Amino acid sequence: EIVLTQSPGTLSLSPGERATLSCRASQSISSSDLAWYQQKRGQAPRLLIYGASSRATGIPDRFSGGGSGTDFTLTISRLEPEDFAVYYCQQYVSSPLTFGGGTKVEIK
């Protein structure tokens, strides 16, 4: 099973600031089969990024994904008020499909 470790657990930032979230895999995800999701309180997760760096339909370009192998990042270039939420990475290269523990981006 591929374990995904997200850091930091909580990120306290102000609107307009840049957010960098990390996701580290316990083994190489060689085909970049990694996605990022955003979840707001009381809502279902929403797909942001797939294939490590491709934005899903309708996702603003302030969201970008990068990385390969075992180290991946999600960057939010300038935080908008609606971006404060929990973010999860997820791998789909092998079964069982697994999610990271999440990073909460909160208002400082």
Partner 1 sequence: EVHLVESGGGLVQPGGSLRLSCTASGFTFSTCAMSWVRQAPGKGPEWVSSISGKGDTTYYTDSVKGRFTISRDNSRNTLYLQMNSLRTEDTAVYYCTKRDGWHQFDSWGQGTLVPVSS
Beta-carbon count within 10 A of 84 CB: 19
- Which residue type sits at 72? F
> What is the C-alpha separation between 39 and 53, in angstroms, rounded?
19
**Contact pick of 38, 74, 88, 105 for partner 1 (by CB under 8 A):** 88
The smaller minimum CB distance to partner 1, of residues 70 and 99, is found at: 99
**Contact pick of 67, 85, 100, 105 for partner 1 (by CB under 8 A):** 100
| Residue 4 near residue 87 (C-beta atoms within 8 A) | no
Please report how close the Cβ of residue 44 comes to partner 1 at its closest, in angstroms: 4
> What is the C-alpha separation between 39 and 92, in angstroms, rounded?
19
> What is the C-alpha separation between 13 and 21, in angstroms, rounded?
12
Binding mask 35-74 toward partner 1 (x if CB under 8 A, else -) reads: x-x-----xxxxx--xx----x------------------
Using CB under 8 A, list all residues that contact partner 1: 33, 35, 37, 43-47, 50-51, 56, 88, 90, 92, 95-102
